[in-house]
Structure 1
Amino acid sequence: MELAPRSLTPCLNLGIVAHVDAGKTSLTERLLHAAGVIDELGTVDDGSTQTDTLDLERQRGITIRASVVSFELGSPDRPVTVNLVDTPGHSDFIAEVERSLAVLDGAVLVVSAVEGVQAQTRVLMRVLTRLGIPTLLYINKIDRSGAREKSLLADIRERLTDKAIPLGTVTGAGTSTAAYVPFGKDDERHRARLADLLSEHDDALLRDWLDNADGVSTRRLERAVAQQARAGLVHPLVHGSAVTGAGLDEVARAITTYLPVRRPDVEGPLAGSVFKVERGPSGEKLALVRLTRGRLGVRDKVRFGDVADRVTAIRVHDRGTLVRSTSVAAGRLAEVVGLESARVGDPIGDGAVERSEPQFSPPTLETVVEPVREADRGPMYTALTRLAETDPLINLRHDDARGETHVSLYGEVQKEVIAATLATEHGVPVRFRDTTVMCVERVVGVGAALEVISVAPNPYLATVGLRVAAGAPGAGVTFGLDVELGSMPPAFFRAVEETVHETLAQGLRGWPVLDCAVVMTASGYYARQGHAHQRFSKAMSSTAADFRGLTPLVLMAALRQAGTVVEEPMHRFDLDLPAAALGPALRLLAHLRAVTRTTQVHGAAAHLGGLVPAAHVHELQQRVPDLTGGEGDLACEFEGYAPVTGDEPPFRSRTGPDPLDRRTYVLEVRR
């Protein structure tokens, strides 16, 4: 099958995000039903929704993995292809949300008209703002008892965004007959509100409105709303009910009007990115690809930096299903088989920009996974390796000496999901040890070290000199040269650089080293040679293995001279609670070493915000329900790192050969 004609229609990569239970998946079902993709509405309670396909998702009633479905909105003569990404709402899967958001053109943020602006809603809005994604606000559940309109709008402007623009009002809120009514074109109060907000970014509109408000047409105001919404400057707001269908036509129209619909460039050089990796039923690697330019066909060779793989099959998301196709064009999302080298975040194609590290919130917890049955140790590691392909942020780490397998986590729910996935999909039941916090190390000084070829105690045929210093905050680990680029073969420089990054995954106390600048200050090698009349001899010639073996010894010696400080992860917390529980909550936060930055009281309700060590987040989550009589709403989001207080910083057991123990290291590497 060939999907080329439809691929030329304007397209929109859309994400729907929300706090758990705000109605995100139900809204998705409504849109699919209205577009004719499904004949019958599914429900989260029955586990019959189109996008929650995992057994665990259906059992728990939550979205765990992002899923994709494609459909059309708009009029028959002006259709828009919408590639909708349904994302998780639970904070333990924030990395899955951010991976999905990175490929979106726009988003719909769902807010419950009953529960209002919840803590996780604020976290999601911050992520959308940070990534610069134009966002439409959808107030769901207007038919539910307790649904609010005016007071909720005030909360949104105060606690979520002051750029919200309501496009209509609600009648019969809180009843089964609740309806959404768009503002009329002659509604002067609405026109005045639009002009007031839009003129902040449009000087010409402000001038014309002040000179003659009647002379500014409603059509001009509507065009300005659309332009500023597509730029992410304002956020149009509509109401509705995903259960009754109230306001559905208006939200569908708002999606294509106020979010950036693009006409794809199918003629340019191939450019796109891999935003998700899965395994098929036969174990084949499936790369979910978003194409931004050009066309990709079966048997095409696709480049990932220095590597190229050949496409063996393509399945395109089309009208709610995956359709096998000989090619896929820009503007579509496709499942591509054959890209065995693909990783999440990889750019693809000759026209793609260089890979940049995605700014995902890092996992801050770690645990050891053990098989229930000792015979499953090998299969368990194989299964975890497959999971690491789909979610590289679990940072799979194996300690051969202790026989331990470590994974990184965002929270306890994620641990349950990993266990269920291993048991149901791979037949490997597992258990976990206690969860521990993942710290980091930062360089505090400058250190340098040098080992010269053929000079004891250097056992390698290589000369490596390195200087280590603190890097710019957020810069990561950088590598530079203070030697002539032509002084060694490129493969040797590449070996040193790659080994530097690998080695700094475990600093002086075993934690990853952040924001570190490493410079190579000396280099040397023996050229290829051999005995007379004999072939090439490794014993007399330098190889990349010599540089890979020597670099950790030099780097750790320089790092020891520079010194490091251990820092622990801190989470930003947002806690909504009854004002009566404010005192006990503040005492609990102080006990958990939290720093409270904001305290707000609104009548019988209160809000607390600040920082709490990641080590105490789980305890805080467990105690909030009892502390607040079940009325507390807590969201935590990674904020950064702070130095660990106390006499002895925590130590993390090392995996692999330890370059801080020279004699043992050399013996293990040689083995």
Structure 2
Amino acid sequence: MPILNLGILAHVDAGKTSLTERLLHAAGVIDEPGRVDDGNTQTDSLALERQRGITIKSAVVSFVVGDTTVNLIDTPGHPDFIAEVERVLSVLDGAVLVVSAVEGVQPQTRVLMRTLRRLGIPTLIFVNKIDRRGADPGRVLGELAEKLCPAVVSMGSAAGHGTAGASFTPSGDEPAFAGRLLDVLADQSESLLAAYVHDESSVSYAGLRAELAAQTGEALAHPVFSGSAITGAGVDALIAGIEELLPAAEGDPEGPLSGTVFKVERGPAGEKIAYVRMFSGRIRIRDRLTFAREGESGAPREGKVTAISVFDRGGAAPGPEVGAGRIARLWGLADVRIGDTIGLPRKAEAQGHFPPPALESVVTPVRPGDRGALHVALAQLAEQDPLISLRQDDVRQEVSVSLYGEVQKEVIEATLRDDYGIDVAFRETTTICVERPIGTGAAVEVIAKDPNPFLATVGLRVERGPRGGGVEFRLEVELGSLPYAFMKTIEETVHETLREGLHGWQVVDCVVTLTHTGYWARQSHMGGGFDKSMSSTAGDFRNLTPLVLMSALAQAGTMVEEPMQSFRIDLPADTAGQVLPVLARLGAVPRAQFPGMLAGDIPVAGVHALEQQLPGLTRGEGVLECDFDRYQPVRGPVPERPRTDHNPLNRKEYLLRVVRRV
């Protein structure tokens, strides 16, 4: 049976969880569709999701459409939980983007559609809530073409919108619909246009439908359906469209093993459960698997599969194996992490569909005795969310957690309280900056030569790299001049040390070149035993490298840059005068101003304040859309971030901490 792994994506409150419920009901999986407001939906299983009425974690359910098994993945809509969407995108065969017929195209809608098109994921659009007061499917269709993609085509007509009796009628082979199809499809296909120009009669309606399926499968065209997830209007037409227009999963069950872990959760006993999308081959119980993340150094991790649960026909059922195209839950992989590749990696794809979190906050336990338990709990939460990282400050006994927004902070606080019994407090949220080298610096310390106390020679040069290039490690020494283990230790320590630059922020976009090396070979005393005092070890290179690197970085100098977002505000024209002074106070720079619209750039630090003030400034009619744009140099005093390392910028302090002597 063909398999389709389908994602449901939307701006928050557009109704995607309600649509998931309606699809399950139409497929006969559930007797009655649950309601988000009642907290009885299939995919929002967390207590916190039911309380808040929003999706926080992605969830998988399965149903059958015709002769196709659909594994449906419901994703969060709130931008604070974009990390959940991030990892789901890599396992999808197709998507349904839900748009409200009342609110229309919203900020997150545009972010999601840009990403879906960039990744080439076939996407249908469902205009939901046509039964709501204020619904206007025609206006929304125009917004879709203007703001998302011109290659959208309505697959039918809505009647009675704005009333409880609203309905959707699919279009057939009537000339008007065929003309609309031809207009959209011919823009993407020269052969279709040529055939029509040469002989109009040669382009049949069946041919147009086949071309629509082909262009939809290539993410060139996007069919639009309308309806109501609450009443069920238009849902049957959407289901037919899913079966006809979205391509099924590909993959050879007998091919080489290849899969991706897109979600990790913990079971009742604390055991790890890995959600895996299989692209090739098959996994059986008791198979020993290797898994690793792209770019990860060291040997791949291993684990033995102790149980398998495969999603099929309504839910997940235990099974002896899982094959290509399917999604399954695996038990027994204790060291597995989100983003791991099982077996062979897929073809190279751009990593990171969304920007990393740009905010952080220190979290402290209300009861000091919970400090150890808090660190364990936060580590488990970060384990389930690879875009969320922790910074452990052993000096101050504090932990900082990176965030996308204030709602996420509230959810973390509630999760720690309800699931772990730990009451916590968050400090004020701050912006995460980065540092970039502004020049070139070099340093070297030679073995057995003061002031170097380590049995190692390390020389490094630091210089600027291209924007977006990350940290590149190069060699200016011969590979055989140093044992490979020592060379690898230097490289790993360089990356680790650059997490905190001259001002405490992560150093990005630089080139670090190894210019000098030296070591003392393994020595033994008269009794034949290993003499550490006369032999270089990996620890010597691990301890010396930060001193050399930070000395070179200090010569090069760094510039601290803060994250900037591009913004667009749609607002009543007569309220722009009240908004502009607020933008100026928040450090925003308007780039364009038209009646009813303001656009420009704003520091991430000012976005939350703008969100809070905008409704009062615009009579509740202002709509803010923000998207990460770039980093730019900080204006004013350079922000300092407290260090959590051994501070290699201060030689005396560093040596006292590392070797307990100066």
The answer to whether structure 1 residue 618 and structure 2 residue 608 are counterparts is yes
Residues 303 and 350 in structure 1, CA contact (< 8 A), matched pair in contact too: no
Aligned equivalents of 2:74 and 2:591: distance in 1?
33
Which of 367, 370, 375 matches 1:376?
Answer: 370
CA distance in 2, matches of 1:407, 1:534: 50
How far apart in 2 are the matches of 1:69 and 1:640? 37
Matched, 1:204 2:196: no
User: Is 2:250 the counterpart of 1:302?
Assistant: no
SS class of match (1:273): strand
Specify which of 317, 327, 330 is matched with residue 321 of structure 2: 327
Q: CA deviation at 1:353?
A: 5.4
Aligned match of 2:208 in 221, 225, 231? 221
How far off its partner does 1:293 sit? Answer: 0.5
Matched, 1:520 2:514: yes
Q: CA deviation at 1:511?
A: 0.3
Q: Distance in 2 between matches of 1:303 and 1:581?
A: 59
Q: Could you tell which deviates more after superposition, 421-430 or 111-120?
A: 111-120
Match of 2:487 among 471, 493, 500: 493
CA–CA distance in 1 between the matches of 2:338 and 2:255?
A: 23
Query: Distance in 2 between the 1:122 and 1:360 partners?
Result: 13
Amino acid at match of 1:18: A
Cα separation, 2, equivalents of 1:354 and 1:165: 32
Find 2:2's aligned residue among 7, 10, 14. 10
- 1:462 aligned to 426, 436, 456, which one? 456
2:119 partner amino acid:
L
Pick aligned residue for 1:80 from 30, 44, 68: 68
User: Are 1:482 and 2:470 matched, yes or no?
Assistant: no
Larger deviation: 151-160 or 43-52? 151-160
1:58 paired residue among 43, 50, 56 = 50
Listed one character per residue, the Cα deviations across residues 611-670 of structure 1 (whole Å, up to 9, x for unaligned) are: 210111110111112122222232333222111112x31110100201101111122122
Structure 1 residue aligned with 2:653:
664
**CA displacement 1:144-188 (0-9 Å, x = unmatched):** 222112222112211222111111111222222221112221x22
**Residues in 2 aligned to 1:641 and 1:25: alpha-carbon distance in whole angstroms:** 35
Q: Is the 8 A contact 2:570 2:624 kept in 1?
A: yes
Question: Counterpart in 1 of 2:87?
Answer: 99
Q: How many residues align?
A: 653
Cα separation, 2, equivalents of 1:120 and 1:366: 22
1:252 aligns to 2:239 (yes or no):
yes
For 1:328, what is the secondary structure of its paired residue? Answer: strand
Alignment check: 8 A CA contact 2:99 2:105 kept = yes
**Equivalent pair of 2:522/2:530 in contact (CA under 8 Å):** yes
User: How far off is 1:110 after superposition?
Assistant: 0.6
Q: 1:40 aligns with which of 22, 32, 37?
A: 32
Shift of 1:200: 2.1
2:155 maps to 167
Off by >6 Å, runs of 4+ in structure 1: none
> Matched residues, percent identical?
57
Structure 1 pair 597–475 and aligned structure 2 pair: CA distance change class (3 A): same
- Of the structure 1 ranges 516-525 and 365-374, higher mean CA displacement relative to structure 2 is found in 516-525
Residue 541 (str. 1) matches residue 535 (str. 2): yes
Amino acid paired to 1:461: L
2:380 to 371, 386, 408: 386
* 2:389 aligned to which of 379, 389, 395: 395
- After TM superposition, the structure 1 = structure 2 runs for residues 100-119 of structure 1, keeping only pairs within 5 Å, are 100-119=88-107
Evaluate the alpha carbon distance shift between residue 625 and residue 262 of structure 1 in structure 2; reply closer, same or farther with a 3 A threshold: same
In the aligned structure 1, how far is the partner of 2:288 from the partner of 2:598?
A: 53
Aligned partners of 1:542, 1:96: CA distance in 2, in Å?
Answer: 45
Alignment deviations for residues 117-151 of structure 1 (CA, whole Å, 9 cap, x no partner): 12222222222233332211110111122211222
Structure-2 residue corresponding to 1:178: 166
Matched, 1:282 2:269: yes
The question of 1:436 aligning with 2:430 is answered yes
**After alignment, is 348-357 or 155-164 more displaced?**
348-357
Which whole-Å CA distance do the structure 2 matches of 1:354 and 1:658 have between them? 37
Higher deviation after alignment, 547-556 or 473-482 = 473-482
Map of 1:480-629 to 2, 5 A cutoff? 480-601=474-595, 606-629=596-619
Secondary structure of the structure 2 residue equivalent to 1:22:
coil
Change (3 A) 1:14 1:491: same
- Counterpart position of 1:642: 632
Quote the Cα distance in structure 2 between the aligned partners of 1:240 and 1:333.
29
Distance 1:124 1:151, change over 3 A: same
**What CA distance in whole angstroms lies between the structure 1 residues aligned with 2:36 and 2:570?**
26
Which residue in 1 is equivalent to 2:129?
141
SS at match of 2:452: coil
Whether the 8 Å contact between 1:314 and 1:325 is mirrored in structure 2 is yes
**Would the aligned equivalents of 2:83 and 2:386 in 1 still touch at CA under 8 Å?**
no
Q: 1:607 to 1:230 in 2, by over 3 A?
A: farther
Provide the rounded CA distance (Å) in 2 between the counterparts of 1:667 and 1:357. 40
Indicate which of 16, 22, 35 corresponds to 1:30.
22
- C-alpha distance in structure 1 between counterparts of 2:46 and 2:369, whole Å: 27
Residue in structure 2 matching 1:127, options 104, 115, 132: 115
The residue type equivalent to 2:214 in the other structure is Q
- Alpha-carbon deviation of 1:510? 0.4
- Secondary structure of 1:348's partner? strand
Whether the 8 Å CA contact 2:152–2:184 is kept in 1: the answer is no
Preserved CA contact (<8 Å) 1:95 1:361: no
Note the aligned Cα RMSD (angstroms).
1.7
Following TM superposition, by how much is the alpha carbon of 1:17 offset from its aligned partner in structure 2, in angstroms? 1.0
Deviates more, 1:482-491 or 1:134-143: 482-491
Amino acid at match of 2:607: V
Determine if contact 1:278/1:286 at 8 Å carries over to the other structure: yes
Contact 1:346 1:355 (8 Å CA) reproduced: no
Whether the 8 Å CA contact 1:119–1:574 is kept in 2: the answer is no
Whole-angstrom CA distance in 2 between matches of 1:573 and 1:256: 38
| Displacement of 1:529 | 1.5
d(CA) in 2 for partners of 1:151 and 1:252? 24
Q: Residue 251 of structure 2 corresponds to which residue in structure 1?
A: 264
Q: Which residue of 2 aligns with 1:4?
A: none
Q: Counterpart of 2:601 in structure 1: which amino acid?
A: L
2:177 to 163, 185, 190: 190
C-alpha contact (below 8 Å) 2:3/2:71 kept by paired residues? yes
**SS of equivalent residue, structure 1 residue 392:** coil
The SS at the match of 2:626 is strand
Once the two structures are TM-superposed, the CA of residue 313 in structure 1 deviates from its matched residue by 1.9
AA of the residue aligned to 1:642: Q
Shift of 1:356: 7.0
* Structure 1: runs of 5+ lacking an equivalent: 1-8
Question: Distance in 2 between the 1:319 and 1:596 partners?
Answer: 52
Structure 2 partner of 1:232: 219
1:631 counterpart residue number: 621
Match of 1:450 in 2: 444
Q: What CA distance in whole angstroms lies between the structure 2 residues aligned with 1:274 and 1:588?
A: 44
Q: Distance in 2 between matches of 1:199 and 1:439?
A: 47
Work out the CA distance in 2 between the residues paired with 1:165 and 1:20.
Answer: 24
Contact in 2 for aligned 1:347/1:353 (Cα 8 Å): no
Q: Aligned partner of 2:62: which letter?
A: S
CA contact (8 A) 1:450 1:466 kept: yes
Cα 1:71/1:609, change in 2 over 3 Å: farther
